[in-house]
Amino acid sequence: MQRQGYSSSAVIIHWLLAVSIFFLFVSSWWMMALPLPSDVFTYREFPFQLHKNIGITLVLLLLIMLYVRFRHRPAPESAEVMRPWMRKLAILDHVILYGLIFVICISGYMSSAYSGWDTELWWLVEIPNWGYEENEELNIFYSNIHLWTCWALLAVLAVHISGALYHAFRNDGIVRRMLRL
């Protein structure tokens, strides 16, 4: 019998993504409020490394998510539950979510690469700086892209979560597709 919802791996990755992105949003505004690094204040180092490590790991998770969801495609929802326009909106919302998360991570990485601060993946592997030199203008340019795409992600997530709540209140089985392991 074909599974109605997403595969267990897709469900686990979806919730890992959701929790990590929520954490990145909440922690980043605190992280940005910390004093700029100097000989005396070095607290920024740990939260920045943690932010970058979680963000880079998210890209890998997203790639695995795309792989597993295309390998084990969820069965289409019945037309009674999802009208054609709703399905189109959901697909558009998902595609934009994937795209935005990629752009956020790439712009964050580029901003960091031009900031002159190295990234050590989980304090184990030094990521080479691929020849990027410290450059304040490009750091700000990518940092602005990072910030604005984060706001766009919040807006698209608002649509996503409103849709999920709508289906949860109707109890039509859509949210269960993303809950059942």
Residues that bind ligand HEM (CB under 6 A): 14, 17-18, 21-22, 24-25, 28, 32, 51-52, 55-56, 58, 69, 90, 94, 97-98, 101, 104-105, 108-109, 111-112, 119, 143, 146-147, 150, 157, 160-161, 164, 174-175, 177-178
Dihedral class, residue 171 (left if φ above 0, else alpha if ψ from -120 to 50, else beta): left
Give min distance, CB of 135 to ligand HEM, in A. Answer: 13
Q: For residue 120, what is the enclosing H or E element? A: strand 119-121
Nearer to ligand HEM, 1 or 151 (CB): 151
Q: Which is nearer to ligand HEM, 1 or 175 (CB)?
A: 175
Min. distance of Cβ 40 from ligand HEM in angstroms?
20
- Return the residue matching tokens 């595969």: 7
Q: Which neighbouring-strand residues pair with 127?
A: 119
- Cα 25 to the center of its chain, rounded Å: 10
**Cβ at position 130, least distance to ligand HEM in Å:** 13
Write down how long the chain is. Answer: 181
Locate tokens 């919302």: which residue?
93
Token output for 90: 């959901």
The CB-of-93 to ligand HEM minimum distance in angstroms stands at 8
